[in-house]
Amino acid sequence: MKILVFGSFNIDKVYSLPRLPQQGETLYCENYEIHVGGKGLNQALAFKKAGADVVVAGKVGKDGDYLTDYLEANGVDTSLIDRSDGFTGHTIIEVEPGGQNQMILFGGANREITRDYCDKVLAENADADLIMMQYETSCVEYMIEAAYKAGIKTAVNPSPYVKAVNSLPYDKIDFIIANESEGAGITGEKDTESIVRSLCALNNGKVILTLGDKGSIYSDGANQVFVPAFMVDAVDTTGAGDTFTGYCLTRLIGGDSPETALRIASAASALEVTVTGAAETIPDMKAVSEFLKNYPV
């Protein structure tokens, strides 16, 4: 299975705080770490750890070797990554005990991607089984349209949610994978059932809605599956959604039932949140299988 991840590559600067700060407040930070990150990079790693062959496309700056070296060391094909004279994207991530976070995102090179680059990436990956996108790069809308014309399946994680996400061509997206607040933003609905129904109406089915520590839902419009989350002691929830995305789609495209795919993806993200960081803490399939042995169906 070949997955093309068209996405963002960020350097994550993670600050552990006693609690998230309020406006105008200064807090002492108890721990500071630098990690590889970005939704594109994290999802690429999750697809890879779940067993897919992964090619990444996107742009890094002059300080981007840290990210490309990490991807290469983990068996991801980075040969198409473009380079900028500017800075790589980065995030400032504040984490409080229990794992909840808030972020400041500097797009950097992620926002310099051009249509010509998208055309080149697609021309070289016509054999991809899926193109995975998020909303941290430029040209997402163009890439969806171009992939549709080229007959390549698409999955979009409309994250982070901003108003512009509402005008994506959802009827040309095969899989929408979103959390509840993204789903609410896109559909204008408040309750879970209505969000799922409205998302399905947008793309004619194949919607995955993640509900944090409550679980996740898959719907193809006609049939719906809910799988509860595994209860673990979360330390840092950064990257949980990306882990879920890579695992869930790898398993679905590989032919698993939605219930099995959601269960495996939930186990992978449960393991991921027990350690600080995002990409580096995504478990491999062996660890996920071991974890699931403790939770027989």
With contact defined as beta carbons under 8 Å apart, do 41 and 109 qualify?
Answer: no
- Which parts of 79-98 interact with ligand RIB (CB under 6 A)? 91
Write down the residue that tokens 């500017």 correspond to: 86
Q: Which range, of 79-87, 115-123, 138-146, 239-247, touches ligand RIB by CB under 6 A?
A: 239-247
With contact defined as beta carbons under 8 Å apart, do 248 and 261 qualify?
Answer: yes
The reply on whether position 278 binds ligand RIB by CB under 6 A is yes
With contact defined as beta carbons under 8 Å apart, do 10 and 38 qualify?
Answer: yes
Q: Which range, of 6-14, 48-56, 113-121, 143-151, touches ligand RIB by CB under 6 A?
A: 6-14
Q: How far is the CB of 272 from ligand RIB (least distance, A)?
A: 11
Q: 82 an active-site residue?
A: no
Between 29 and 126, CB nearer to ligand RIB: 29
Residues 33, 277: Cα–Cα separation, whole Å: 8
Of positions 174, 242, 272, 280, contacts ligand RIB by CB under 6 A: 242
Of positions 7, 37, 64, 185, contacts ligand RIB by CB under 6 A: 37
In the stretch 95-114, what mask flags binding to ligand RIB with x, by CB under 6 A? --------x-----------
Between 146 and 236, CB nearer to ligand RIB: 236
Residues 141-172 as b or e (16 or more Cβ within 10 Å = b): bebbebbbeeebbbbbbbbebeeebeebebeb
Between 131 and 273, CB nearer to ligand RIB: 273
Q: Which amino acid is at 206?
A: K
Residues 131, 194: Cα–Cα separation, whole Å: 27
Cβ-proximal residue to ligand RIB, closest one: 37
Of positions 4, 39, 245, 263, contacts ligand RIB by CB under 6 A: 39
The reply on whether position 133 binds ligand RIB by CB under 6 A is no
28 phi/psi in degrees, rounded to 5: -80, 140
Strands (DSSP E) contained in the chain are 2-6, 10-16, 31-37, 53-57, 59-60, 82-83, 89-95, 101-106, 130-133, 154-156, 175-179, 207-210, 215-219, 224-228
The reply on whether position 38 binds ligand RIB by CB under 6 A is yes
Binding site for ligand RIB (CB under 6 A): 8, 10, 12, 37-39, 42, 91, 103, 136, 238-239, 241-242, 278
Which residue numbers are catalytic? 242
